[in-house]
């Protein structure tokens, strides 16, 4: 398993699909899709509001809401990992990422660097900064560049179709993207 896999099964297991479907169905029945994540205007102000809401959703560990901003057939391309395809598999990725980040008390921030749209397609270039406390009281900072391609769907909401990211610098040997060292993997 590569360093960024975060122990996510890329093909989405039956149990994971069932769990996602059950939670997603309950959210739909209760109409709980977070309004702040439903970006209906693709402009700088909406994007910045979305970014803050997405960060909060990440800290809350609400991987279902995080996955809801992707199209049903979206692709997530992470460095050192296979392509993650579909909203259910993306939810699994975010579930594992949120859990690991919470375990190590990681801080995550998103900065919009560029934003453009034409018709029903748009893209965003972002810088994501991860601050990970270490056992010796220091903080390790990882800077990640990302490009997301967005599509306005029939309901008027902009969703991510493609999400690709890479680090500015390589990870230290044995280190995972969300701060869990190889020796900690089994405990995460």
Provide the 3-class DSSP secondary structure of residue 63: helix
CATH number of the structural domain spanning residue 132: 3.10.450.50
Spatial distance between the Cα atoms of 15 and 18, rounded to a whole number of angstroms: 5
On whether residue 127 sits in a domain, the answer given is: yes
On whether residue 187 sits in a domain, the answer given is: no
On whether residue 5 sits in a domain, the answer given is: no
On whether residue 57 sits in a domain, the answer given is: yes
Q: At 144, which helix (H) or strand (E)?
A: strand 139-152
Spatial distance between the Cα atoms of 137 and 177, rounded to a whole number of angstroms: 18
On whether residue 175 sits in a domain, the answer given is: no
Number of domains in the chain: 1
Where in the sequence is the domain holding 128, given as residue range(s)?
14-170
- Reading the chain (188 residues) residue by residue, the pLDDT tens digits are 233 333 333 344 444 445 445 454 544 443 345 566 899 999 999 999 999 999 999 999 999 999 999 999 999 998 878 999 999 999 999 999 999 999 989 999 999 999 999 999 999 999 999 998 888 888 888 899 999 999 999 999 999 999 999 988 766 655 555 444 433 433 43
**What pTM was computed for the model?**
0.76
Residue 16 CA, distance from chain mean position? 17
Question: Quick check: 108 and 94 in contact, CB under 8 A?
Answer: no
On whether residue 6 sits in a domain, the answer given is: no
On whether residue 182 sits in a domain, the answer given is: no
On whether residue 177 sits in a domain, the answer given is: no
């Amino acid at each position: 398993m590569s360093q960024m896999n975060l122990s996510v099964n890329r093909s989405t297991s039956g149990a994971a699909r069932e769990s996602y479907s059950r939670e997603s169905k309950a959210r739909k029945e209760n109409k709980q899709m977070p309004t702040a994540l439903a970006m209906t205007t693709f402009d700088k102000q909406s994007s910045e509001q979305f970014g803050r809401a997405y960060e909060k959703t990440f800290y809350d560990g609400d991987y279902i809401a995080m996955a809801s901003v992707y199209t049903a057939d979206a692709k997530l391309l992470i460095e050192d990992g296979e392509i993650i395809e579909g909203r259910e598999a993306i939810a699994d990725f975010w579930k594992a990422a949120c859990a690991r980040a919470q375990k190590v008390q990681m801080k995550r921030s998103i900065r919009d660097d560029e934003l453009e749209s034409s018709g029903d397609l748009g893209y965003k270039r972002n810088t994501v900064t991860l601050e990970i406390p270490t056992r010796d009281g220091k903080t390790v900072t990882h800077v990640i560049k990302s490009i997301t391609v967005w599509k306005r769907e029939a309901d008027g909401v902009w969703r991510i179709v493609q999400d690709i990211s890479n680090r500015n610098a390589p990870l230290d040997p044995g280190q995972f993207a969300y701060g869990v060292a190889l020796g900690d993997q089994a405990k995460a």
